[in-house]
């Protein structure tokens, strides 16, 4: 069951990554590991290709917390 309300879950500047939230925001590291193992490589590569250009900005944003 999806809990997607349509409201943005990422801060401004990262909205283009919203499509990945439902799949990769997991309850804990074990759930994320299970998801990663069950996901075909081409889907993982698509995520990394989308995330990599945002990595420096994401780390800068997270350093505020």
The pLDDT tens digits for 10-53 are 988 899 999 999 999 999 999 999 999 999 999 999 999 999 99
C-alpha–C-alpha distance, residues 65 and 61, integer Å: 8
C-alpha–C-alpha distance, residues 42 and 53, integer Å: 18
User: Residues 10, 21: contact at Cβ < 8 Å?
Assistant: yes
Q: If you ran DSSP here, which 8-state letter would residue 24 be given?
A: H
C-alpha–C-alpha distance, residues 2 and 44, integer Å: 20
Note if the pTM is more than 0.85.
no
C-alpha–C-alpha distance, residues 17 and 24, integer Å: 11
């Amino acid at each position: 069951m999806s809990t997607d309300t349509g409201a943005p879950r990422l801060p401004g500047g990262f909205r283009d990554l919203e499509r990945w939230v439902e799949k990769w925001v997991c309850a804990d590291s074990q759930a994320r590991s299970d998801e990663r193992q069950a996901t075909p490589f081409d889907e993982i590569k698509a995520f990394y290709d989308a995330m990599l250009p945002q990595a420096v900005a994401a780390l800068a944003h997270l350093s505020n917390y």
